[in-house]
Each structure stands twice: as structure tokens, then as C-alpha cells.
């Protein structure tokens, strides 16, 4: 029995709907972000605990019900067929999945490889980038993800380069972020490679990648892009960004089961990333030799098309509109409160779902741990403290499609209540 036959005939799962085949597709229909009747249907596609309002989708994305069902089916199938499936049939499924993902991003099938998460992809890219010579400079920003900053610092010993950390401006604006990178490049003419984060995990800031990457390229500086949070959170044309090395997550905003990320290397740049520790000779031009995951969660990989179906049926523009609407819904109710600081710019080019705030003057981690606890215990809203930015700590809020307008209102009322 092949996998599709199994999926459609399994008695165990009879009665469950097939993932990605909802009654209607909304993708080509623009949906108002405040069309609560429509978005209630989408909310109904998520089975989320009623014990707490979860506005911490930034950690990873809850799967929709159709994706969960498909994942259960794939898990059952993989478990039943075990190594027979993995050794005989998986490669064909994998190739089809790669083809679909590549088409979606507008890249070649030989330019991407699945990983277990964005961390794995980015570690291999940062470590594997082999164009550095002793005495060169690499740059990262203090707003980059902590473990990627460490990975960049590791290059000091590993590649014998100068590692420079720049401070992102606060408050950030489109112009001052570009200016900060320009200054960094001006100040460090020996820079050869730069880490950039597309959407910050701390503040939700969207970096103007296209402009900065073009500026870097003109000076012969390569960008390694951390896109752990961006794919799926907002709509952008990937090719338009003009970056050659990227680490993605599929288990955050694409809504794939936990355990799937992706590496992208532009075809003509493949030799600038070392094959993974002896995996192949330096002449190998196979992207799959740039990371070694070991055994992947096959069922999670098989769920990628189901997650893409689900999202495509809603439409990325509709999804982005709704996420921004939920964000604006709480932010607009607290932004005029003089005791509240919004730590993410109001410029629509610079935010999507995630935005952070603090109660004015409360900058320590402890104060924000207390605030997170109060929001959870007293108001029933789950958020998280964010890692510090220069001005201190705060609370990160990340709504998702399963949140309602009422959830955002509840958060705004809680913040105003606490802030006074």
C-alpha cells in the first residue's frame, strides 16, 4: 500500500478530514483583517487550550487541526512502515517536498536542504563560510539571536578574524537601521561577512534586508541571513532580498510540526560554504553536503505540504494582514499611555505579528519576569520576557491566527490596568 492509499483508507483515522483540503480556498480572495466572521472560521481550525490566552507564538507555531491530523497519520504510517519506508520510499516524497518548497521560495531545488531547525542551518552557514582570511572582519548586531552571536564570536578562534558587534539604534527607524549598518561597513573596510536577522526575536523588528544586503554586496561583503522568524510571519519576495546564505524555520510561522528548518545557499555560492566536516571533498557542489542532520523526523517532513496547503488556502497576504491587525489592536490601545513603552517601531515596514513593550522605567529582567507572571496569573494571558536590548528588558507579544480580536483587547486592558 503506498502512502496516499494508506492515508485515505486507514480505518484508524476514518472520519478525520484530510489536511489541506478545506471546503473552500480563500487564497485569491482578499479578506479584511477585521472580518471577524471569516477569521473565526480560521480560528476554528486550531485546537488551542482555553486555559490561557497564548500570545507567545514566537517560540514555535501551533499546528492547525488539519496539519495535526495529517501529522498523526504520517507518524502512524512511518511507524508502521519503518525502515522500509525510510529506505525505499522516503526519497521520492522528499524530492517532491523539496520541489514544492523551492518553487514557493522561487529558488532551485539544488539550493535548499531541510534541517532540524534554523539553528542547525545557521550554525553550518556561519561556521562553513570559508572566504574569511586571517585579519578579516565579520560583523553582527546586538539584536541578533543569542546563539548566532556566539557562533559569530567563535569565528575569532576558528577563522582568526576580528569579530565586531554593532548596536542597533533605539528607537529603531527604517533610516537609522540602514545608517547603522552603513556606518559599520564604513568603519570596518576589512569586513567580509555580516550576520543579519530578518525579524528580531526580541522586538519583532523587521530589518530592511534588501537595502542593507545591496549596500554590503557593493562592498564585497556577504550577508548570512537569519530568517528563523520571517518566512510565514509576513509576505516578502525572497529573491528580492538579494541574499545568498539563509537559515529558515518551518516550525515557527509556517506551522509545520516541530523539528523542521531549512538552509539556503545560492547555487553559484555553494563553494563558499565548506562541506560539513569531512562529509565530502571541497569540490562537492551538493547543498546536501553542507549539513548533516542524522535521522530526521520523517513524519514532520511529510507534513510540510499539508502546512503549505493550509496556509495557501488562506493566502499569505491575508495572513500577514490579520497578524498585523491583531498586533495593532493591542498596541493602538496602549501606545498613548505615558507609562507604556512600545519597543517596536510603528512603521508598517518594520513589524508584523511580534511587538514588545515594557512599563516605563521597568527595564530589569526581574521586573519583566514579574510582569509576565502577573499577566499570566492575574489576567490569564501568556507572553514572554524578551532578551535585553540596550535600554533593558521587556515583554514580547506574538499573536497568531488562533488569537481573536478579544484576546488582543484583553491584553491591552491588562497592560493599561497594570501601567495605570
Ligand X SMILES: Cc1ncc(COP(=O)(O)O)c(C=O)c1O
Binding residues for ligand X, per CB under 6 A? 117-119, 145, 148, 197, 201, 226, 228-229, 249, 261
Nearest Cα residue to 145 out of 247, 264, 259, 251: 247
The SS3 of residue 74 is helix
Nearest Cα residue to 221 out of 198, 199, 248, 189: 189
Tell me whether residue 39 or residue 357 sits nearer to ligand X (CB atom). Answer: 357
- For the bound state, the minimum distance from the C-beta of residue 197 to ligand X, rounded and expressed in Å, comes to 5
Tell me whether residue 144 or residue 222 sits nearer to ligand X (CB atom). Answer: 144
- For the bound state, the minimum distance from the C-beta of residue 396 to ligand X, rounded and expressed in Å, comes to 10
- For the bound state, the minimum distance from the C-beta of residue 252 to ligand X, rounded and expressed in Å, comes to 7
Strand residue runs (E) in 116-187: 137-141, 162-166
Tell me whether residue 118 or residue 419 sits nearer to ligand X (CB atom). Answer: 118
Tell me whether residue 148 or residue 419 sits nearer to ligand X (CB atom). Answer: 148
Cβ atoms 267, 107 nearer than 8 A: no
Sign for the pseudo-dihedral over CA of 89, 95, 97, 98: positive
Tell me whether residue 13 or residue 253 sits nearer to ligand X (CB atom). Answer: 253
Strand residue runs (E) in 9-111: 53-54
> How far is 113 from 207, CA to CA, in rounded Å?
25
Helix and strand totals (H; E) in the chain: 14, 13
- For the bound state, the minimum distance from the C-beta of residue 234 to ligand X, rounded and expressed in Å, comes to 14
Give the H or E element holding residue 192.
strand 191-197
- For the bound state, the minimum distance from the C-beta of residue 82 to ligand X, rounded and expressed in Å, comes to 27
- For the bound state, the minimum distance from the C-beta of residue 165 to ligand X, rounded and expressed in Å, comes to 16
Instruction: Tell me the CA distances in angstroms from 152 to 124, 158, 196, 208, 400, one per residue in order.
Output: 11, 10, 11, 21, 31
- For the bound state, the minimum distance from the C-beta of residue 58 to ligand X, rounded and expressed in Å, comes to 7
> How far is 264 from 225, CA to CA, in rounded Å?
10
- For the bound state, the minimum distance from the C-beta of residue 147 to ligand X, rounded and expressed in Å, comes to 7
> How far is 348 from 354, CA to CA, in rounded Å?
12
Tell me whether residue 22 or residue 204 sits nearer to ligand X (CB atom). Answer: 204
To which residue does cell 466572521 refer?
37
> How far is 117 from 136, CA to CA, in rounded Å?
29
> How far is 419 from 117, CA to CA, in rounded Å?
37
Cβ atoms 245, 217 nearer than 8 A: no
> How far is 335 from 152, CA to CA, in rounded Å?
36
- For the bound state, the minimum distance from the C-beta of residue 231 to ligand X, rounded and expressed in Å, comes to 12
- For the bound state, the minimum distance from the C-beta of residue 387 to ligand X, rounded and expressed in Å, comes to 10
Q: How far is CA 147 from the centre of its chain?
A: 15
Question: Maximum CA pair distance of the chain?
Answer: 66
> How far is 26 from 343, CA to CA, in rounded Å?
34
Q: Which three cell numbers stand for residue 289?
A: 553536503
Cβ atoms 114, 293 nearer than 8 A: yes
- For the bound state, the minimum distance from the C-beta of residue 227 to ligand X, rounded and expressed in Å, comes to 8
Amino acid at each position: 500500500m503506498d502512502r496516499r492509499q494508506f492515508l485515505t483508507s486507514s480505518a484508524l483515522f476514518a472520519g478525520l478530514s484530510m489536511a489541506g483540503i478545506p471546503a473552500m480556498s480563500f487564497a485569491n480572495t482578499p479578506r479584511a483583517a477585521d472580518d471577524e466572521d471569516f477569521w473565526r472560521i480560521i480560528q476554528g481550525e486550531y485546537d488551542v487550550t482555553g486555559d490561557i490566552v497564548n500570545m507567545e507564538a514566537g517560540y514555535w507555531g501551533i499546528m492547525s487541526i488539519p496539519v495535526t491530523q495529517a501529522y498523526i497519520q504520517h507518524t502512524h504510517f512511518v511507524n508502521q512502515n519503518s525502515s522500509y519506508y525510510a529506505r525505499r520510499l522516503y526519497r521520492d516524497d522528499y524530492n517532491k517536498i523539496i520541489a514544492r518548497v523551492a518553487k514557493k521560495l522561487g529558488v532551485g531545488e539544488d539550493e535548499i536542504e531541510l534541517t532540524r531547525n534554523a539553528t542547525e542551518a545557521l550554525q553550518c552557514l556561519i561556521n562553513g563560510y570559508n572566504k574569511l582570511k586571517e585579519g578579516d572582519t565579520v560583523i553582527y548586531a546586538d539584536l541578533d539571536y543569542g546563539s548566532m552571536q556566539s557562533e559569530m564570536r567563535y569565528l575569532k578562534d576558528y577563522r582568526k578574524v576580528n569579530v565586531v558587534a554593532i548596536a542597533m539604534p533605539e528607537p529603531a527607524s527604517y533610516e537609522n537601521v540602514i545608517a547603522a549598518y552603513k556606518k559599520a561597513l564604513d568603519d570596518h573596510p576589512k569586513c567580509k561577512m555580516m550576520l543579519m536577522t530578518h525579524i528580531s526575536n526580541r522586538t519583532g523588528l523587521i530589518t530592511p534586508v534588501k537595502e542593507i544586503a545591496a549596500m554590503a554586496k557593493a562592498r564585497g561583503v556577504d550577508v548570512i541571513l537569519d530568517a528563523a522568524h520571517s518566512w510565514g510571519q509576513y509576505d516578502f519576495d525572497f529573491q528580492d532580498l538579494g541574499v545568498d546564505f539563509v537559515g529558515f524555520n518551518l516550525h515557527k510561522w509556517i506551522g509545520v510540526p516541530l523539528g523542521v528548518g531549512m538552509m539556503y545557499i545560492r547555487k553559484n555560492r555553494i563553494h563558499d560554504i565548506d562541506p560539513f566536516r569531512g562529509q565530502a571533498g571541497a569540490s562537492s557542489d551538493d547543498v546536501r553536503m553542507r549539513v548533516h542532520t542524522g535521522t530526521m523526523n520523517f513524519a514532520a517532513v511529510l507534513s510540510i505540504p499539508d502546512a503549505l496547503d493550509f496556509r495557501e488556502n488562506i493566502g499569505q497576504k491575508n495572513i500577514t494582514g490579520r497578524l498585523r491587525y491583531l498586533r495593532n489592536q493591542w498596541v493602538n490601545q496602549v501606545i498613548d499611555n505615558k507609562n507604556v513603552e512600545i519597543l517596536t517601531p510603528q512603521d508598517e515596514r518594520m513589524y508584523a505579528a511580534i511587538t514588545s513593550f515594557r512599563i516605563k522605567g521597568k527595564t530589569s529582567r526581574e521586573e519583566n519576569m514579574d510582569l509576565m507572571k502577573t499577566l499570566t496569573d492575574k489576567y490569564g494571558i501568556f507572553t514572554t520576557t524578551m532578551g535585553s536590548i540596550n535600554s533593558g528588558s521587556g515583554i514580547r507579544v506574538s499573536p497568531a491566527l488562533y488569537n481573536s480580536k478579544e484576546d488582543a483587547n484583553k491584553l491591552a486592558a491588562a497592560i493599561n490596568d497594570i501601567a495605570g
